[in-house]
Amino acid sequence: MASYTPMILQYLEIKKDYEDAFLFFRLGDFYEMFFEDAIKASRELEITLTSREGGTDERIPMCGVPYHSAATYIEQLIKKGYKVAICEQVEDPKQAKGVVKREVVQLITPGTLMDSHTLTDKENNYIASITSEGNMFGFSYCDLSTGELKVTLLDRVEDCFNECALLGVKEIVVADDFAEKWGPILRERYGVTISLQKELDDETKFGARIASLSHPEEKAAVIRLLSYLYRTQKRSLDHIQEALYYQTEHFLKMDEYSKRNLELTETIRTKDKKGSLLWLLDETMTAMGGRLLKAWIDRPLTNEKEIQERIEFVELLKEKFFERQELREKLQKVYDLERLAGRIAFGNVNARDFIQLKHSLKQVPDIQSIILGLLSSPNKWETSLDACEEVHNLLEKAIHDNPPVSVKEGGLIKDGYDVKLDQYREASRNGKSWIAQLEQEERHKTGIKSLKVGYNRVFGYYIEVTRANLHLLKEGQYERKQTLTNAERFITPELKEKEALILEAEERSIELEYDLFTEIREEVKTYIPRLQALAKAISEIDCLQSFATVSEERHYVKPAFSEDRKLVIQNGRHAVVEKVLGMQVYVPNDCYMNPERELLLITGPNMAGKSTYMRQVALTAIMAQIGCFVPADAAEMPIFDQIFTRIGAADDLVSGQSTFMVEMLEAKNALTKATKNSLILFDEIGRGTSTYDGMALAQAMIEYIHNHIGAKTLFSTHYHELTVLGEKLPKLTNIHVSVSEERGKVVFLHKLKDGAADKSYGIHVAQLAELPIEVIKRAREILVTFENKDETLAAVIKEPKSQQPEEAQLSFFDVEVSDEEQQKQKLILEKLKNLELMQMTPLDAMNALYELQKMMKA
């Protein structure tokens, strides 16, 4: 049997190490794919599948993409969650003996994108790693494009998933056994790419980056992640910062469902940023600021001092309109320093990036003076706004103001920067001016006015004489080079000599320019930590000015923080709904809670504004805890440690999640994890099951929160019957969204008032929706029968809860029982419990039963 050609054998040898990636195999001007890769890629990329001889009888499937347009194809594959291994020729084909040597130079994966076209400016692109040892999980994440590297310890795998969801992680690096166990869930639920990293590099390789980490699992997670990044990227990753340990407890905790329900960074329905809190608050001027804003919204603070620091700065900026405007203009000119630092380290930066860097750095002194002008006392911005003057000066001196995109074709470096380069350029310039003079001289010598000196790539410099004038040349004056239809082209030895000089000088200067550029890049590389620190300062300032801008435009107020668990919001609004509806249309509402008023039970018809009101309170808390002003006339609030939101299954718009089970799981989450410092929003919980079931569950949950947790809770319900709980639970207050009825039709006022809603209005809403009149009429009749039933139900709910479980059960036998009766029943139950059935004959049992019944009847 014939065997594969050497090239195919080489392909297979390389492919072996990249089973889970498309191998882009460089062949001349194309990247080719073979075998299975080719079949799959032709389908995914909609390119033609061909085949080639490979030494065996069967032809090998093949498809390819041109080298120069490969980027778009790679992007398509990465977006679909695939990986692409770039395999280049690593020796000059002309010099190669046998098959040209090839190597994979980079593995591009969803979590390791560096290409500025593929990355979204205002979004991070995270890759994470998880390691586990017993009940301890190390979770580390990195944005390769910015160099951010963080790590934490978590004690449940769900918490790791939660972090992944919160950060929008694209790729997770794990060990085999972890991938086997959790890979499918991660892939399905979060759409992440799973990557394996079996071998861990020696920790000495990462030195300072992991020096501050103490716990072995933290270290292991970071080492796994870095090992993977170095293995796949195969280059300097000097921009990756020291691993920063964080604790989820230091931030306001929200699980992924709560975050989604509150539409913090994207809407539930469209998954768009538009319509989210992030969209509302984003007045950032830089890409870095945009990314930080999202991170801030994802992790509101819980430390009052840190919150105050932000808020006070926002206040300053809010009041100084002109300074803020100026600041915004300066910020707008600041380029994405974080990603730029990444590309400098990565080695794919060009001269245009450097010009942008220069312009950015030029803004820094102005930004600093605006900021320092606002603040009187010494502050952190004095040092953190570091203009990196040396870098600015270097770039100013070295790089042309309008350089080309390519760094390999010259035109990058300014005159006067390098002596040698200047000499080459001088030589080339001299040569060119000699040639320019030559034309004059030769015209003069020969008397041919139309004589020209020209240049083309193939023949170089030449003297051109039209056919009509050829007779004016002396025999052997020039050397004939090329004949055209009506002219002849000539050369002379001096011309060739000068030409060689010019071309050599140009070639040398292009090479030298590239070398100089690389040197400058290496020099700037040493400033990466300073550039990153500057980027951090700028992005913080950008976020804070964004808060100030929005707060001023939308008339927000500075929140105060209450020590005594009070929550007072006067004329509060739902920030996003208000923006969408318009300030005039939105009806503001108060919210008042304190230690005697912990639970608000909200009733009111559908569409009245219950859900909006509840979210309004949560969003106000979040805005305050990220350091922004809040949409209200006045606000005082506690600092919450966690926020839980659960939306009744029937209201849950997210497809696939609307099962009652999920609803209950989330409720469990809130009930088991909330503390008295948490905020719970339960919006029509219990809707996903039958009325009595649902109502019973809702009541039980309310009682549990009231008696055992004491968290601030907003509980909306369409179970009107639950409002009687107000009489039984002292810290529960009924409030309702008022409606007015005009000639039998309801008008929504969207106004919250104390007390329970007087009725449900469901039928009124149906009427508004213009259901057939017969349906409405019939529904009214049926309602009357139901309402009669409800009265008995209300009686059950109202019955004060007793402390003994036995007693609680008894109350089901008989709703109204006297103390004496209770004593008796208790005795009977006691007797029943103590019967030793196994020792009794059927007759004994019969007798005992008779005895008990007699007691009951007495």
In the complex with ligand ADP, the residue whose CB is nearer, 653 or 846, is 653
185 vs 585, beta carbon nearer ligand ADP: 585
* Token pair belonging to 614: 């509840």
Q: At what angle do helices 351-374 and 321-332 cross, to 10 degrees?
A: 170
> Number of helices and strands (H, E) in the chain?
29, 26
Among 610, 687, 712, 720, binds ligand ADP (CB under 6 A): 610
**Closest-CA residue to 620 (of 586, 583, 589):** 589
Binding window for Mg ion (CB under 5 A); candidates: 11-19, 165-173, 470-478, 607-615: 607-615
| 733 contacts Mg ion (rule: CB under 5 A) | no
Q: Which two tokens stand for residue 838?
A: 């196994």
Provide the pairing of β-strand 84-89 with 244-245: unpaired
User: What span, in angstroms and rounded, lies between the C-alpha atoms of 157 and 155?
Assistant: 7
Q: Which residue is nearest to Mg ion (CB)?
A: 611
Residue nearest to ligand ADP (CB): 609
Phi first, then psi: give them for residue 165, nearest 5 degrees: -65, -45
Paired tokens of 232: 């796949």
In the complex, what is the shortest distance from the CB of residue 670 to ligand ADP, in angstroms, rounded to a whole number?
Answer: 19
Residue whose CB is less far from ligand ADP, 609 or 627: 609
- Any alpha helices (H) in 773-841, and if so which ranges? 773-798, 805-813, 819-834
The stretch among 181-189, 519-527, 604-612, 659-667 that binds ligand ADP (CB under 6 A) is 604-612
Residue 241, contacted partner among ligand ADP, Mg ion, none, CB below 5-8 A by kind: none
Per CB under 6 A, 609 contacts ligand ADP: yes
**What minimum distance in Å lies between the beta carbon of 607 and ligand ADP?**
5
Shortest separation between residue 695's beta carbon and Mg ion, angstroms? 17
d(CA 174, CA 233): 17
Residue ranges with strand state E in 500-566: 560-561
| Structure-token pair, residue 753 | 């008032």
- CA–CA gap between residue 117 and residue 134 (Å, rounded): 42
Question: Is 605 labeled as ligand-binding?
Answer: yes
What's the min distance (Å) between Cβ of 610 and ligand ADP?
A: 3
Beta bridge pairs of residue 599? 713, 732
The residue length of the chain stands at 858
Return the residues of window 634-653 that contact Mg ion according to CB under 5 A. none
As measured in angstroms, the least distance from the Cβ of 706 to ligand ADP is 22
Site string for Mg ion, 10-39 (x = CB under 5 A): ------------------------------
CB nearer to Mg ion: give 118 or 611. 611
Say if residues 343 and 353 touch (Cβ distance below 8 Å).
Answer: yes
Q: Does 608 appear as a known binding residue?
A: yes
Question: Restricting to residues 725-754, which ones interact with ligand ADP according to CB under 6 A?
Answer: 750
Determine the size of the site formed for Mg ion (CB under 5 A): 1
Are the beta carbons of 413 and 404 closer than 8 angstroms?
no
Q: Exactly one of 606, 645, 723, 733 binds ligand ADP (CB under 6 A); which one?
A: 606
Residue 606 contact partner, candidates ligand ADP, Mg ion, none, CB within 5 to 8 A by sort of partner: ligand ADP
- The answer to whether 649 touches 661, Cβ cutoff 8 Å, is no
Instruction: Consult the annotation and say whether 609 binds a ligand.
Output: yes
Q: Can you tell me the distance from the alpha carbon of 819 to that of 578, in angstroms, rounded to the nearest whole number? A: 55
Shortest Å, Cβ 646 to ligand ADP: 14
Alpha-carbon distance of 735 to 599, in angstroms, equals 10
Binding-site size for ligand ADP (CB under 6 A) equals: 15
* Contact window for ligand ADP (CB under 6 A) among 361-369, 601-609, 632-640, 839-847: 601-609
Does 606 belong to an annotated binding site? yes
Contacts of 140 (CB under 8 A, 6+ apart): 128, 129, 149, 150, 151, 152, 218, 221, 222, 224, 225, 243
User: What is the C-alpha to C-alpha distance for residues 269 and 493, in angstroms, rounded to an integer?
Assistant: 77
Q: 191 to 210, contacts with ligand ADP by CB under 6 A?
A: none
Q: Is residue 164 a contact partner of residue 183, using CB atoms and an 8 Å limit?
A: no
**Has 42 been labeled as part of a binding site?**
no
Asked if 261 interacts with Mg ion (CB under 5 A), we say no
**Is 611 flagged in the annotation as binding?**
yes
Q: Which does 608 bind (CB under 5 to 8 A by kind): ligand ADP, Mg ion, none?
A: ligand ADP
In whole angstroms, how close is the CB of 751 to ligand ADP at the nearest point?
8
- The CB-of-749 to Mg ion minimum distance in angstroms stands at 16
Here the tokens at position 373 are 């002008």
Burial 588-610 (b: 16+ CB within 10 A, else e): bbbbebeeebbbbbbbbbbbbbb
Task: Return the number of the residue (549 or 611) whose C-beta is nearest Mg ion.
Answer: 611
Rounded Cα distance between 743 and 728, Å, is 36
Cβ-based nearer residue to Mg ion, 363 or 611: 611
Residue 586 interacting partner from Mg ion, ligand ADP, none (CB closer than 5 to 8 Å by kind): ligand ADP
State the Cα–Cα distance between residues 509 and 411, nearest whole angstrom: 9
What is the rounded CA–CA span in Å between residue 388 and residue 369? 15
Please tell me the distance from the alpha carbon of residue 47 to that of residue 62, in angstroms, as a whole number.
11
Nearest alpha carbon to residue 399 among 424, 416, 420, 423? 416
Smaller CB separation from ligand ADP, 587 or 664: 587
Among 612, 625, 642, 733, binds ligand ADP (CB under 6 A): 612
Give the one entry of ligand ADP, Mg ion, none that residue 609 binds, where binding means its C-beta sits below a cut-off of 5 to 8 angstroms depending on kind.
Answer: ligand ADP
Phi-psi sector, 63: left (phi>0), alpha (psi -120 to 50), beta: beta
Is 610 labeled as ligand-binding? yes
Tell me: does residue 607 bind ligand ADP (CB under 6 A): yes
Q: How far is CA 59 from CA 8, 40, 50, 62, in A?
A: 12, 17, 9, 9
Given the rule CB under 6 A, which of 292-300, 339-347, 389-397, 583-591 is the region that contacts ligand ADP?
583-591
* Whole-angstrom Cα Rg for the chain: 38
Q: What is the C-alpha to C-alpha distance for residues 155 and 847, in angstroms, rounded to an integer?
A: 57
Least separation in angstroms between CB 613 and Mg ion: 9
Residue 610 C-beta: closest distance to Mg ion, Å:
5
Q: Which stretch binds Mg ion (CB under 5 A): 102-110, 226-234, 340-348, 603-611?
A: 603-611
Partner whose footprint covers residue 316, from Mg ion, ligand ADP, none (CB < 5 to 8 Å by kind): none
| Shortest separation between residue 34's beta carbon and ligand ADP, angstroms | 56
- As a whole number of angstroms, the distance between CA 662 and CA 532 comes to 42
Binding of ligand ADP by 587 (CB under 6 A): yes
Name the β-bridge partners of 63: 33
Burial class (CB within 10 angstroms; exposed 0-12, middle 13-18, buried 19+) of 79: exposed
Q: Which is nearer to ligand ADP, 607 or 662 (CB)?
A: 607
Read off the amino acid at residue 697.
L
Question: Which DSSP category does 306 fall into?
Answer: H
The answer on whether 583 is annotated among ligand-binding residues is no
Shortest distance, position 742 Cβ to ligand ADP, whole Å: 18
Choose which of 140, 611, 678, 733 interacts with Mg ion (CB under 5 A). 611
Q: Report helix, strand or coil for 712.
A: strand
Let me know: does 215 contact 153? Beta carbons within 8 Å: yes
With contacts defined by CB under 6 A, name the span among 14-22, 61-69, 249-257, 602-610 that binds ligand ADP.
602-610
**Which of helix, strand or coil describes residue 87?**
strand
Per CB under 6 A, contacts with ligand ADP among 750-769 are 750
Closest approach of Mg ion to the CB of residue 577, in Å? 12
Minimum distance of Mg ion from residue 606's CB (angstroms): 7
Closer of 353 and 683 to ligand ADP (Cβ): 683
Residues at the interface with ligand ADP (CB under 6 A): 577, 581, 585-587, 589, 604, 606-612, 750
Residues at the interface with Mg ion (CB under 5 A): 611
Annotated binding-site positions for ATP: 604-611
Annotated binding-site positions: 604-611
